[in-house]
Structure 1
Amino acid sequence: MSYHFKADETTDQGLRRIAHEQTLKAIDVLDVAPLPMSAKIHDMRKRCKKVRGLLRLVRGSNTDLYDVENKRFREIAKTVSARRDATSMIEAFDKLIEGHEDKLNVASFAPAHAGLVRRRDEVRQESEDINVVVGELLAELKEGAKAIEDWSLPEADEEVAGFDLFRGGFVKTYADGQEAMEVALEKPTRGNIHEWRKRAKDHWYQVRLLRESWSVPMKSRRRATKRMADHLGDDRDLTLLRDTLTEQPEQFGGVDVVEIVIGLIDREHEQLRLRAMDVGRRLYAEEPESIADRFERYWMSWRESESRLPAEIAEFEDAVST
């Protein structure tokens, strides 16, 4: 399934196709995919975020549609966020220790790992029956898939090849990312870093959606944006891990073990934020309207060249055959 616009479809057709594909895939993964439940939930949440990234691209064209559908897919993903966070902390802990295993007695951190596993299992037990939750999620996703058929979108302006549906949403998403980064760099609180990461992910999704307009520079930007978002995602997971360990250190190997882990986390925070800043300063170097102008030119040139190509091929084949 292609999470990007194609040349052989109108803009509104592409919007509905992409949203429908991601929603149906989320349903399929939850319902029948032969995967562990944690993997099912992780994949479903990613699909919902992809739909929300798509909706942010068109929110300037239909605010009401954005408000309703963004809320729908946000709430679906939020339903199982606690389960996902509990698993992410284990992954973050293991990655942190493995990254310093040449300097540590890894065996001494086994109680901390075991404590995080117990906590994950407790979260699962305290949550509603997962089969009931999955049934409710499937019902919500099926309703969302049906609603896509009735999405109300304004007609695209043929003179700008449909980019007018995107421009407002693209500009706002990019500007929000710029602001979130500046706020986070000035005051790197948990909430500010998380907001920066969310806005970075939004931009990443939108670059992926528009990537066919000029694949080579878009590929570079896509990779850089993902790298920034990954650094910030790792930072968030470590923040959750730090908070959990400090609340009840006796559950994770005791104060001595927890203090060592917190020291590692704090140093890793500094490195991750520096790496994210290094990429972010370049990604957000342009003014919102300027980068929108550039992306619009990519889009228009791509759509115009793709529309000419079949006729040019036909003319060439006719010339060859005569």
Structure 2
Amino acid sequence: MGFRLKLREPLSDGLKRVFREQIQSALELCRHPAKQRGVTAHEVRKHLKKLRAAMRLAIGEVGKNQHAGEDRCVRKIGRLVSDLRDAQVRLQTLIQLRDETRKRSGEDSFPGIEELLALERESFSAAFAGWQKQAIPQLERVEARLLKWPLENLTWKQICSAVEKIYKRGQRGLAKTIGDPDPENFHAWRKRVKDVWYQLRILQPLKRKF
């Protein structure tokens, strides 16, 4: 179906379909992991981020408390693999830098650091072995609860309000980052940009309604 609503689809049905598709995609990856190292963790995290962005669109109808409770559950699932994924990214980044340096100088650079990062990745892989088995029942429970959210009276005004709030948070984050270009500020701002991007992707087919 794609990560989007459809023109002739009731709003509540469409949003719940998006919830279900993202969770089912994450479940499929957990049940049938990719052979390439790190791919499964990365793709599962992407689906969870999309799910959380979609959930925020319903906050005006379900309320802050109910949304916050389910959001915490989804974040908890994401944390099962966040350290493993971060370790993989650090190693991949160093390998890319090493390859670029080798092209220019003909020498292998950072051998000690590369070995340490590889050991870090293996350590996390061992520590989080079997994370998929932990994630599957948690995802199934989240799906069951989200599909029971009372969204029949969800309105476009509530949807637009949710997007506006995230957009304003992004604006504040950008201003903070410009004033203090700290890596943490960039990271926080980047998350808000992704939230808006995901939400606009969900709503993009309906742009004629606005």
What's the CA shift for 1:110?
Answer: 3.4
Determine the structure 2 residue equivalent to 1:206. Answer: 199
Determine the structure 2 residue equivalent to 1:9. Answer: 9
Alignment CA distance shift 1:34-1:86 (3 Å): closer
What's the CA shift for 1:50?
Answer: 0.6
1:174 alignment partner, one of 152, 167, 180: 167
For each residue in 1:132-182, what CA deviation from the matched residue of structure 2 results, as whole angstroms up to 9, or x when unmatched? Answer: x221111100101111221122514xxxxx422312211110000011111
For each residue in 1:254-291, what CA deviation from the matched residue of structure 2 results, as whole angstroms up to 9, or x when unmatched? Answer: xxxxxxxxxxxxxxxxxxxxxxxxxxxxxxxxxxxxxx
Distance 1:199 1:101 in 2: 37
Determine the structure 2 residue equivalent to 1:299. Answer: 209
Superposed CA RMSD in Å reads: 1.9
1:90-101 mapped onto 2 (5 Å cutoff)? 90-101=91-102
For each residue in 1:291-322, what CA deviation from the matched residue of structure 2 results, as whole angstroms up to 9, or x when unmatched? Answer: xxxxxxx434xxxxxxxxxxxxxxxxxxxxxx
The answer to whether the Cα contact below 8 Å between 1:61 and 1:168 also exists between their aligned partners in 2 is no
1:231-310 mapped onto 2 (5 Å cutoff)? 298-300=208-210
What's the CA shift for 1:35?
Answer: 3.2
1:186-225 mapped onto 2 (5 Å cutoff)? 186-214=179-207
3-state DSSP of counterpart to 1:3: coil
Distance 1:105 1:86 in 2: 27
Alignment CA distance shift 1:96-1:200 (3 Å): farther
- Which residue identity is paired with 1:209? I
For each residue in 1:18-66, what CA deviation from the matched residue of structure 2 results, as whole angstroms up to 9, or x when unmatched? Answer: 0001101111111124534522111111111110011122223332332
Q: What is the identity percentage for the equivalent residue pairs of Structure 1 and Structure 2?
A: 25
Distance 2:135 2:167 in 1: 31
Distance 2:52 2:72 in 1: 9
Distance 1:76 1:16 in 2: 19
Distance 1:48 1:86 in 2: 19
The answer to whether the Cα contact below 8 Å between 2:98 and 2:108 also exists between their aligned partners in 1 is no
The answer to whether the Cα contact below 8 Å between 1:177 and 1:196 also exists between their aligned partners in 2 is yes
Distance 1:154 1:10 in 2: 9
For each residue in 1:78-125, what CA deviation from the matched residue of structure 2 results, as whole angstroms up to 9, or x when unmatched? Answer: 121110110010122223344455444441333332321122112223
For each residue in 1:191-248, what CA deviation from the matched residue of structure 2 results, as whole angstroms up to 9, or x when unmatched? Answer: 211101111110110111111134xxxxxxxxxxxxxxxxxxxxxxxxxxxxxxxxxx
Determine the structure 2 residue equivalent to 1:251. Answer: none
The answer to whether the Cα contact below 8 Å between 1:65 and 1:151 also exists between their aligned partners in 2 is no
Alignment CA distance shift 1:152-1:106 (3 Å): farther
Determine the structure 1 residue equivalent to 2:53. Answer: 53
3-state DSSP of counterpart to 1:108: coil
Distance 1:32 1:75 in 2: 21
Distance 1:53 1:106 in 2: 45
The answer to whether the Cα contact below 8 Å between 1:61 and 1:154 also exists between their aligned partners in 2 is no
Structure 2 residue ranges without an equivalent (≥5)? none
- Which residue identity is paired with 1:178? Q
The answer to whether the Cα contact below 8 Å between 1:61 and 1:153 also exists between their aligned partners in 2 is yes
The range that moved more, 8-17 or 53-62, is 53-62
Structure 1 residue ranges without an equivalent (≥5)? 157-161, 215-297, 301-322
Distance 1:177 1:103 in 2: 39
The range that moved more, 203-212 or 114-123, is 114-123
1:183 alignment partner, one of 167, 173, 176: 176
Give the number of equivalent residue pairs: 209
- Which residue identity is paired with 2:173? A
The answer to whether the Cα contact below 8 Å between 1:61 and 1:166 also exists between their aligned partners in 2 is no
Alignment CA distance shift 1:185-1:100 (3 Å): farther
Distance 2:7 2:46 in 1: 25
Instruction: Give the structure, 1 or 2, with the largest relative contact order (CA under 8 Å, sep 6 or more).
Output: 2
